[in-house]
């Protein structure tokens, strides 16, 4: 009897230790993923600039796509591991977290002013691509054709943004363009650029692979579905860089850059990140995506627009509205968990 009790005790201790190690690997995986994505973008952008590629093109391709590199790598690894629900949940969950969590916390720190350029260009486009995502998941199946359509729309989006910016004679007041171009590094030796490019290329798939494996282990331990792990732990983790960027933006009184970062990230998540799941592993998806989560994402998007279009004419998201966004995110997490 004592031997059986001792064996059960050892078994429980092993499970607890296994979960602790999984959480440690998950946290380290997130950290390595974000850092390697940053180094990859830095090296690729610097190398392209050294070879004479114009700053505008580098900013709107390498840097713009690189900002969603963590989500893209996680989506790719999850899809290749036959976890399409995790990949789709990551994209949709990140969009929900960006609006409700990231903007909520940011607005609590300081009210956010919303520039007219964002209202006229970025927000309508965000609504269109969000409705496109709703249409794709509405039949509970994500096909390879739909994945290619989304990715083609992403390429068309970057090309259109590039053409419009060139016609306007430069970066103009578009926060998405300004942020991307400002992040293009200057005066970086080619050898250093190549080094960071290689480091990023090696660590990105390794870190994302460990992250997905740890997330799957945690999900199994707590009885969580593939979708739920994508909507919660992975979505929040991949939204942390946006949170840091938004807080840094408002502290510098660059509200348009903070808002542009969120809206641009959400557009990329749908067009670039979501498309990867369909292209690499077309499959039936969890019905909760079509019946619950996609509507939460659409609701958060329309709430953001409503808060930005103040009837008083002062386009800003105040602290009360920020608190409501954060409370909505906490309520959503509580409901799905």
Q: Are 153 and 128 in contact (CB under 8 A)?
A: no
Confidence of residue 278 (pLDDT cuts 50, 70, 90): very high
Using the predicted structure, report yes or no on whether residue 314 has a pLDDT greater than 60.
no
- Looking up tokens 């590094």, which residue turns up? 185
What is the average per-residue pLDDT within 68-93?
88
Domain boundaries defined on the chain: 18-336
Task: Tell whether domain 18-336 is in CATH 1.10.10.10.
Answer: no
What is the tens place of the pLDDT at every residue in 150-176? 999 998 888 887 777 666 655 555 555
Residue 333 pLDDT > 90: yes
Task: Specify whether the CB–CB gap between 176 and 122 falls below 8 A.
Answer: yes
Residue 4 reports pLDDT greater than 80? no
Q: What confidence tens digit (pLDDT) does each residue in 112-145 have?
A: 877 656 566 778 888 999 999 999 999 999 999 9
Q: pLDDT tens digits for 225-260?
A: 889 988 998 888 888 888 877 887 777 777 667 777
CA pair distance 11, 52, nearest whole angstrom: 60
Q: How confident is the model at residue 64, as a pLDDT? A: 63
pTM for the predicted model, two decimal places: 0.85
**Structure-token match 């077309």, residue found:** 282
- Residue keyed to tokens 């509580």: 334
Q: Between 179 and 92, where is the model more confident? A: 92
């Amino acid at each position: 009897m004592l031997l059986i009790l001792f064996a059960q005790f050892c078994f429980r201790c092993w499970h607890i230790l296994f979960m602790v190690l999984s959480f440690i690997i998950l946290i380290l995986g997130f950290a390595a993923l974000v850092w390697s994505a940053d180094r990859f973008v830095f090296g690729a952008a610097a190398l392209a600039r050294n070879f004479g590629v114009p700053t505008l093109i580098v900013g709107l391709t390498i840097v713009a796509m690189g900002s969603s590199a963590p989500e893209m790598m996680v989506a790719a690894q999850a899809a290749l591991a036959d976890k399409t629900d995790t990949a789709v949940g990551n994209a949709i969950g990140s969009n929900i977290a960006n609006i409700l969590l990231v903007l909520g916390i940011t607005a609590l720190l300081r009210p956010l002013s919303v520039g007219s350029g964002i209202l006229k260009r970025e927000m309508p486009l965000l609504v269109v691509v969000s409705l496109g995502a709703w249409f794709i998941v509405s039949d509970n199946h994500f096909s390879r054709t739909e994945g290619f359509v989304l990715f083609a729309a992403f390429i068309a989006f970057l090309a259109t943004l590039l053409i419009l910016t060139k016609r306007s004679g430069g970066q103009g007041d578009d926060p998405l363009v300004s942020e991307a171009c400002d992040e293009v590094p200057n005066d970086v030796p080619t050898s250093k650029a190549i080094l960071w490019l290689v480091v990023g290329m090696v660590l990105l798939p390794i870190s994302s692979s460990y992250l997905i494996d740890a997330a799957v282990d945690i999900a199994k331990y707590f009885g969580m579905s593939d979708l739920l792990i994508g909507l919660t732990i992975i979505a929040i983790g991949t939204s942390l860089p946006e949170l840091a960027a938004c807080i840094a933006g408002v502290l510098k009184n660059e509200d348009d850059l903070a808002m542009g970062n969120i809206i641009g990230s959400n557009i990329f998540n749908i067009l670039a990140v979501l498309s990867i799941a369909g292209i690499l592993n077309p499959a039936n998806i969890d019905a909760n995506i079509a019946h619950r989560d996609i509507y939460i994402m659409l609701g958060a998007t329309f709430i953001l627009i409503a808060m930005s279009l103040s009837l008083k004419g002062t386009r800003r998201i105040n602290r009360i509205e920020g608190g409501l966004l954060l409370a909505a995110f906490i309520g959503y997490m509580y409901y799905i968990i």
